[in-house]
Amino acid sequence: MHARVSASPDWALELDGVTKSYGSNPALVDGTFTVKRGEIFGLLGPNGAGKTTLVEILLGIKHRDGGTVKVMGVDPEAAPRQIRELISGQLQISPFQDKIRVHELLDLFASLYPHPRDVHELLDLVGLAAKKQAFYERLSGGQKQRLALALALVGDTDLVILDEPTTGLDAQIRRELHAVILELSRLGKTILLTTHYIEEAEKLCARVAILFRGRVHAVDTPQALIARYTEGENLEVTLDRAITPEELVQLKARFSVVVSGADDRPVYRLHGNQGERLLVELVLYLSQQGIGLTEARIRRPSLEEAYLTITGSRIDA
């Protein structure tokens, strides 16, 4: 049972017990978390976890069934016009007319806000200055995602919501968008980022909420979640020869060992509290047995392992 949230001037978002169902199907069972002003906050969960439903509630697109929501201290359902000046967002699906030009689309969105950002500045920020005269239909998938990000920023709001902004993009374009998101944070923006990419959440987010089957199960920094929900470290080694079954029995008597890889080049994975200490003990033992160590790698616990412990399921399952 997690703690309820309380109002504070430090919070950009405050959600407490938010629920939403479609008929008899619950999309959100308990959305409870807070987002600090100025931080990149990740909402991490698989497809169907309720991330987009929650985003649409925050943006005022959908009504919640229960719970409370405060955006910069304002309830989006009580003051929808004010919310549009406080928050902007980029949704997973952003269909636009094929024959509209990039700068025309940005100019149109800019006209909706009292104090929009300079369109040319935005095009530079997202790397689309050379495409300002291009028709929307001529943009690549990555360029469309960058344009969607620019449209989310044109209102110059303090809070920006990005719903799965890098889904379906190749690794290079994803890295480029990561750089833009980090630059936004340096400019003082508060960012709510929904994602099902664990590495993305671990890299970008100051704090993360684990959303699974419509319920927020844990909220903390990636490092704190790893420390709380994982144990020990793994040492992966290859030896100068495959050890015999008898030697493996002796090794397992001293260490927690799992063998993987090809028969002619097996990888031995040892588990313990400290990888460095484990490596020293292993080297001493192997030298006594006349076995050489050819390669070693300490693998520390990841947010993916913490996620598995928290939800009991892999995010791509």
**What is the rounded average pLDDT for all residues in the chain?**
90
Residue 93 pLDDT exceeds 90: no
Q: How far apart are CA 102 and CA 133, in angstroms?
A: 6
pLDDT mean over 91-106: 85
Collect all residues with Cβ–Cβ distance below 8 Å to 291 and sequence separation of at least 6: 239, 240, 241, 243, 247
Amino acid at 24: S
Q: Which two tokens stand for residue 209?
A: 């909420």
Q: Which two tokens stand for residue 264?
A: 């002619």
Cα dihedral sign, 270-273-279-281: negative
DSSP state of 92: S
pLDDT for 216: 97
Identify the band that residue 9 occupies on the pLDDT scale cut at 50, 70 and 90.
low
Identify any residues that bridge with 159 across adjacent strands, giving them in sequence order: 87, 190
- Give the chain's domains with CATH numbers: 11-228 (3.40.50.300), 232-300 (3.30.70.1560)
Identify the band that residue 204 occupies on the pLDDT scale cut at 50, 70 and 90.
very high
pLDDT for 94: 66
Beta strand 190-195 pairing with 233-239: unpaired
Cα dihedral sign, 78-80-81-83: positive
Segment 102-150, tens digit of pLDDT: 999 999 999 988 889 999 989 988 889 999 999 999 998 888 888 988 9
Of residues 125 and 284, more confidence is placed in: 284
Q: How far apart are CA 107 and CA 116, in angstroms?
A: 9
Q: CA angle, corner 174, sides to 129 and 57, nearest 5?
A: 90
Residue 95 pLDDT exceeds 80: no
Is the distance from CB of 101 to CB of 133 less than 8 angstroms?
Answer: yes
Residue 1 pLDDT exceeds 60: no
- Report residue 299: phi and psi, to 5°: -115, 110
- Residue 126 Cα to chain centre, angstroms: 20
Q: How far apart are CA 86 and CA 124, in angstroms?
A: 23
Question: Which parts of 37-115 are beta strand (E)?
Answer: 40-44, 66-71, 87-90
Identify the band that residue 23 occupies on the pLDDT scale cut at 50, 70 and 90.
very high
Task: Give the torsion through C-alpha atoms of 31, 33, 37, 39, to 10 deg.
Answer: -100
pLDDT for 8: 52
Segment 215-246, tens digit of pLDDT: 999 999 999 999 999 988 889 999 999 899 99
